[in-house]
Amino acid sequence: MAHHKEERTYVMVKPDGVQRSLIGEIIKRFEQVGLKLVALKMFVPTAEMIEQHYTLDPEWRRVTGEKTIKGYKDKGLTPPSEDPLEITAKILANLKKYMVSGPVVAMVWKGAHAVKIIRKVVGGTEPLTSDMGTIRGDFVLDSYQMSDTDGRAVRNLVHASGSPAEAEMEISHWFKKEELIDYRLVSEQILYDVNLDGILE
């Protein structure tokens, strides 16, 4: 089994994150937690690439639809449809409009528990309820209620893979092998080395 420090995750600063001048702030937060940036590029995605990105997991349509219906019911609201796939079709159409509206910054980050650590730093999907101290909690104020009323995707600044398996699919969807760089950061010694001899002179 690969060492924990080999785990990778895919992150994308969404068009609103770029427009809010938060690229540096977002990168800073991943750097300061100890993760290593191994790939980075800026581009305007196509709607086709976005649809493929969200549906790399064949279960995503059903799971997201069911989760959204439950979200409405938990708040005492009536969902716009009882059919999860119908709900997700609308979400996906809105996401495609949102994500192609301007440049995004795509990245791969590597390090121990990269997926969970980055999700923790990013915060929960809906900015209204994401914790303070997280990127979504600190820098934006959107809600499903407002975005649904206005018929658009929720603007939450950043995408981050939800599991190591999702991360590997997303990395190969957005990056060519040769765009990823294998290198060592000197800080990895203090994060991971078992033997700390050699610090004292």
Count Cβ atoms below 10 Å from residue 107 Cβ, excluding itself. 27
Residue 91 lies near ligand GDP (rule: CB under 6 A): yes
Q: Fill in the DSSP letter of residue 157.
A: S
Residue 71 lies near ligand GDP (rule: CB under 6 A): yes
Amino acid present at 140: V
Q: Residue 71 touches which of Mg ion, ligand GDP, none (CB < 5 to 8 A by kind)?
A: ligand GDP
Determine whether 173 is an active site residue. Answer: no
Q: In what order do the strands lie in the sheet with 158-160?
A: 36-43, 104-110, 8-13, 158-160
Closest alpha carbon to 103 in 13, 27, 176, 180? 13
Return the residue matching tokens 């509206």: 101
Residue 125 lies near ligand GDP (rule: CB under 6 A): yes
Q: Residue 153 touches which of ligand GDP, Mg ion, none (CB < 5 to 8 A by kind)?
A: ligand GDP
Instruction: Please list every residue from 131 through 190 that binds ligand GDP, using CB under 6 A.
Output: 144, 147-148, 153-154, 156, 159, 162
Binding range to ligand GDP, per CB under 6 A, among 20-28, 40-48, 64-72, 167-175: 64-72
CB of 179 to ligand GDP, least distance (A): 23
3-state class of 158 per DSSP?
strand
Q: Residue 139 touches which of Mg ion, ligand GDP, none (CB < 5 to 8 A by kind)?
A: none
> Residue 77 or 190: which CB sits closer to ligand GDP?
77
Closest alpha carbon to 34 in 102, 139, 109? 109
Of 71, 102, 124, 162, the one binding Mg ion by CB under 5 A: 162
With left for phi above 0 and alpha for psi between -120 and 50, is residue 50 left, alpha or beta?
A: alpha
How far, in Å, CA of 65 to CA of 62, rounded? Answer: 5
Return the residue matching tokens 């079709």: 89
Instruction: Please list every residue from 58 through 97 that binds Mg ion, using CB under 5 A.
Output: none
Question: Which residues carry out catalysis?
Answer: 159
Give the footprint of ligand GDP on this chain (CB under 6 A).
64, 67-68, 71, 91, 95, 125, 144, 147-148, 153-154, 156, 159, 162
Give the footprint of Mg ion on this chain (CB under 5 A).
162
